[in-house]
Amino acid sequence: MRIAMIGGGYVGLVSGACFAEFGSDVAVVERDPKKLAALREGRIPIYEPGLDAIVAKNTETGRLTFGDDLSAAISGADAVFIAVGTPTRRGDGHADLTYVYAATEEIARSAKEGLLVVTKSTVPVGTGREVARILRETRPELTFDVASNPEFLREGNAIGDFMRPDRVIIGIDTSGPDEGERATRIMREVYRPLHLIEAPIVITDLETAELTKYAANAFLAMKVTFINEMADLCEKVGGNIHDVARGMGLDQRIGRRFLHPGPGYGGSCFPKDTRALTAIASDAGAPSRLVEATVAVNEDRKSRMAERIIAQAGGSVQGKTVGVLGLTFKPDTDDMREAASLPILAHLHDAGARIQAFDPEGMEPARALLPDGVIYCEDALEAATDADILVVLTEWNVFRAIDPDRLSNAMRGKAIADLRNIWNPATMRAAGFEYSSIGRI
């Protein structure tokens, strides 16, 4: 198969590299000159475990190429995937589809007969129909097919998620003369290697595929928010949130995943997709009160976490040093989008704190997003040095291995606010720390 991937960002790069690993010839189109230059030089502009090796291998074989000429990329392609950004639109919470529609118009001007156009980006219900309309309007004589193929990639585990997915969702436009048979055939061929491992492939209509992506992410965001609220309740009544989560997760109807308390969800998907789903539902006349509440509770939680840190520091952080371990929204990524660290550290900075932080991968992207006064350290112990209070914001494994005695010797104070529950409370208190965590007494 020959595939054109429009967009060399997280979704486009991971998907393109993995399709090439499946054996397809993939041409990735990236218009950002700096990003394109990096990709051509073999430098991966994002941190994703295992991605550099797959990109290098398939670039060397010639199955994966990078360029900025869309017309050349789709020449001879069986399918073109649109994997451009769909950020939250300012003012109304909807996904901004400017880049999707611009790519569609450009594809239409260069497309060959029978091209399959696939939306890989997360897009609202109805986008596939609008893509088809734009294609018809731009090239009335063109025959084409449209499909929706939303991604379900977890940052930090994207390669495994693509290669061994829980499921593949494919929405097909059946309104054409062959009722989507050609599009279905191409998409099954694109994902043929997954048939060999019996990965579930769900073929449905455009609207259902588009909505499935939002529904899945919103449900997971609600699950995270629910366990956070239960953690707060545990602190009030003397329960242990990890035991509560285990007792819940052993119920197969609930499952264990996404039952880990913390300072609130973030990242490139949950915040954006929950906002978009509430806007979609409201416009459709079927408002989603549960998702609306999830968004509000999650935003409030981040502010309350900052106040919690201040309270543990004695009621004020004015002139005090706050050591911070972790900045990214989760471990094994350099993604700072909607990270809990952003509002929490901004709040502490405004309250007069001196902030010194370390993150294994996220410090460079954090510099443009955090207050200017934040000090970036070489390692975790440097971040803890002379700190009056130490705050854990991301559960990187490297932090779990820190020796408590070395930590105690480095710090000036003894307060630790572990917002990711990476350490054992008894161990940390035995080492002399005034230790607090989430949902554990």
Binding positions for substrate are: 152-155, 213, 258-262, 266, 330
* 8 Å CB contact between 337 and 265: no
* Tokens 């529609």 -> residue: 101
Binding residues: 35, 86, 122, 152-155, 213, 258-262, 266, 272, 330, 337
**Nearest residue to 340 via CA among 351, 353, 361, 325:** 325
| Residue 234 among the catalytic residues | no
CA angle 432, 438, 440 (to 5 degrees): 70
Class of residue 198 by CB neighbours under 10 A (exposed 0-12, middle 13-18, buried 19+): exposed
Judged by DSSP in three states, 436 sits in: strand
Question: 257: which 2 tokens?
Answer: 């995943």
What does the H/E/C string look like for 375-414?
EECCCHHHHHCCCCEEEECCCCHHHHCCCHHHHHHHCCCC
**Rounded CA gap, 147 and 120, in Å?**
9
The structure tokens 């869309």 sit at 70
- In the annotated binding site for NAD(+), the residues are 35, 86, 122, 155, 272, 337
CA–CA gap between residue 311 and residue 434 (Å, rounded) = 12
Alpha helices, H only, 313-390: 341-350, 363-367, 380-384
Show which residues are catalytic.
Answer: 269
